[in-house]
Amino acid sequence: MGETTTLRRWDWRLALSLSGSVAFGLACSSSVSSPAACEGVGGGCVTVAECSPDAGHVNGTECPGYPDTVCCLPLSACATPEPVCCSGQLTFRPDCTVGQYVCVSGTFCDAG
């Protein structure tokens, strides 16, 4: 039987606080860096700027050139509008994973 190897990457997430200050968060996730891996989940490897909330959803599958490139899924991959994740006063975009939003950093912000 074949072996399966899981690679880990350290994921630096940029967040802007409500006051406009910048913070970085560190999370560990399992993934393999490959355009084929991103295509396999229905996305494409693009620059961070090309995957704005109006253009697509971020997915945790790593792309070559990370962190400057991300795996971006089409808007139809998860419901819109995209919710916001919070950690204290910092806000983050969630990952779209198998049709569901996941907060990699923090938790979903309160709606009210």
**Residue 3 within a domain:** no
- Asked if the structure places residue 112 within a domain, the reply is no
Q: How many domains does the chain have?
A: 1
The dihedral over CA atoms of 100, 51, 25, 31, expressed in degrees to the nearest 10, equals 60
Give this prediction's pTM.
0.67
Backbone angles phi, psi at 103, to 5 degrees: -85, 110
Domain around 32: 8-107
| Digitized pLDDT (tens) for each residue of the chain, 112 residues in all | 333 333 333 333 443 333 444 443 333 344 456 889 999 999 999 999 999 999 999 999 989 987 889 999 999 999 989 999 999 989 999 999 999 999 998 999 975 4
